[in-house]
Amino acid sequence: MTARAEPSPEIQAIIIRIYRDDPPNSVLCERLVDLDEGVQEWRYRHVKMVERTIGTRRGTGGSSGAEYLRNTVGGPAFPDLWEVRTKL
């Protein structure tokens, strides 16, 4: 299993500068947030489909199935882009 990306104050400072001073790249940041949100929504729907299909049985590859998937739902791929929302 790959470790989740952890928020970084240094990266967040750079992102805030991008949002304030670099409009083309701030648009790119927003597209990444859109992508991240879409993946999180897909993960949620996937968990519900797995629960409906196999219930609590083990998943493919020996994973814990729906339980494993449920743990991935709220984890953003770009946590720094989410963390800076309140600072913009």
Residue 46 has, within 13 A of its CA and on its CB side, a CA count of: 16
| Secondary structure tally for the chain: helices H, strands E | 4, 0
Tens-place pLDDT, residues 52-76 = 888 877 777 777 778 878 887 878 9
Predicted local confidence at residue 2, as pLDDT: 65
Tens-place pLDDT, residues 3-38 = 778 899 999 999 999 999 999 999 999 999 999 999
Are 11 and 81 in contact by the 8 Å Cβ rule? The answer is no
Tell whether pTM > 0.85. Answer: no
Residue 1 has pLDDT above 60, yes or no: no
- Here the tokens at position 8 are 């970084």
Q: Which amino acid, residue 51?
A: E
